[in-house]
Amino acid sequence: MFKTAVIADRAYLNHYAGYEHPERPERIETLLQMLATRHREGMFQLKPRPATTAELTLCHDASYVSFVEGACAFHRYQFDPDTYAVPGSFATALLAVGGVLTAVEAVMGGQAHNAFALVRPPGHHALARRAMGFCLFNNVAIAAAYLLKHLGLRRVMILDWDLHHGNGTQDLFYESSQVLYVSIHEFPFYPGTGAVNEIGRGEGEGFTVNAPLPAGCADEDYLRVFDELIMPIAYKFRPEFVLISAGYDCHARDPLGYMRVTEQGFVAMTRRLKRLAEDTCQGRLVAALEGGYDLKALADSVWATLEELGRDGDEKIEAVKGGRRAEEVIEKAVFKLNRFWQL
Ligand SMILES: [Zn+2]
């Protein structure tokens, strides 16, 4: 049984809209209740540390960081109709970034084999100079930059299975060959980016991989994308660390999207990424929570992911049957990316 660090804290409840909003404190409260009632061998909890300003500026402009801090002095500040801050938000956002860094440090330091940071607010829409899509700072992107700049790694893979395209993460590494950013998302959909022809630029050309799937896709569609597009590229990239932007809003029960992924789908995706990490980087893998707005689906799916992170690693990876809805997207993506990866 593998040791998995779970980063969790009640302090993540201190960011709230004050009106009905899907990205709400109850998401973390539900996960804390889940952790209090379910347990598996090898799993242990860690408290997050706050990120420093220097860490935030690995991905964000210093002027933007001050702007967010200033915005949090208001009773409530709206960055856009979806994205808010209240007085507790800045500290909570520092803890969200720091939670993912805590997870990365636990894995790099050998305290844990892998880790899951149960943080909020989410991060993958946050740009260098802009909050959007419920996100203030880009938690996972900062963790990737931290691994490269402070911990000496050269290649980091980010797999983003959130319902939405992680435009912020893509943008931050669009010209980098050190970060392989891979996203499977509903398309066309918010935020509008993530088309198959967005593959990176300059040095980074070929290091952004988008699988924009039509509404209604289920486990078998996602897994076809993994087996025919993502895994062949990932094994050639040979990451030294695997980060998952783990959003659960692609779950069948989620109120925001129209995908039909189940707990078994998250297990199967996790199994593939865990196997990749075992094969290329001693199992170094950290998942970080992004979206997921149905509380039951969120708790059950996070738990399914945590259980899979603990399994020994010799479980069978089943061949996928079906997945026809993904075929066209896979074909187009392979066509665009073939010259970089010889697929
Ligand atoms: Zn999302």
What is the model's pLDDT at position 74? 87
SS3 295: helix
Q: How far is the CA of 290 from the centre of ligand 1 (A)?
A: 6
Q: Which residues lie closer than 8 Å to 209 by C-beta, 6 or more apart?
A: 180, 181, 182, 183, 199, 229, 230, 233, 333, 337
Q: In angstroms, rounded to a whole number, what is the distance separating the alpha carbons of residues 274 and 201?
A: 28
Q: Which residues lie closer than 8 Å to 114 by C-beta, 6 or more apart?
A: 2, 4, 5, 107, 274, 277, 283, 284, 285, 286, 287, 309
Q: How far is the CA of 341 from the centre of ligand 1 (A)?
A: 28
Q: How far is the CA of 135 from the centre of ligand 1 (A)?
A: 10
Q: In angstroms, rounded to a whole number, what is the distance separating the alpha carbons of residues 332 and 325?
A: 13
In this structure, what token pair is assigned to residue 177? 């060959």
Q: Which residues of the chain have pLDDT under 50?
A: none
Known catalytic residues are 125
**Domain 4-341 is classified in which CATH homologous superfamily?**
Histone deacetylase domain (3.40.800.20)
Q: In angstroms, rounded to a whole number, what is the distance separating the alpha carbons of residues 88 and 14?
A: 5
What is the model's pLDDT at position 202? 98
The CA R_g of the chain, rounded to the nearest whole Å, is 18
What is the model's pLDDT at position 313? 80
What is the model's pLDDT at position 291? 98
Beta bridge partners of 244: 159, 287
Q: Provide the pairing of β-strand 241-246 with 285-289.
A: parallel
Token pair 């208001």 is at which residue?
A: 74
- Sheet with strand 43-46: strands edge to edge: 43-46, 4-7, 114-117, 285-289, 241-246, 156-160, 179-186, 208-213
Q: How far is the CA of 292 from the centre of ligand 1 (A)?
A: 7
Give the total residue count for the chain: 343
**What does the angle CA 153 – CA 303 – CA 295 come to, to the nearest 5 degrees?**
110
Which residues have their alpha-adjacent CB atom under 5 A from ion ligand 1?
162-164, 247, 249, 291
Q: How far is the CA of 9 from the centre of ligand 1 (A)?
A: 21
Q: How far is the CA of 161 from the centre of ligand 1 (A)?
A: 9
Kind plus residue range of the DSSP H or E element containing 50: none
Q: How far is the CA of 201 from the centre of ligand 1 (A)?
A: 25
Q: How far is the CA of 164 from the centre of ligand 1 (A)?
A: 4
Residue 289 gets which letter from DSSP?
Answer: E
Parse the chain into domains and list their residue ranges. Answer: 4-341
Q: Which residues lie closer than 8 Å to 168 by C-beta, 6 or more apart?
A: 123, 124, 125, 126, 127, 132, 135, 138, 141
SS3 108: helix
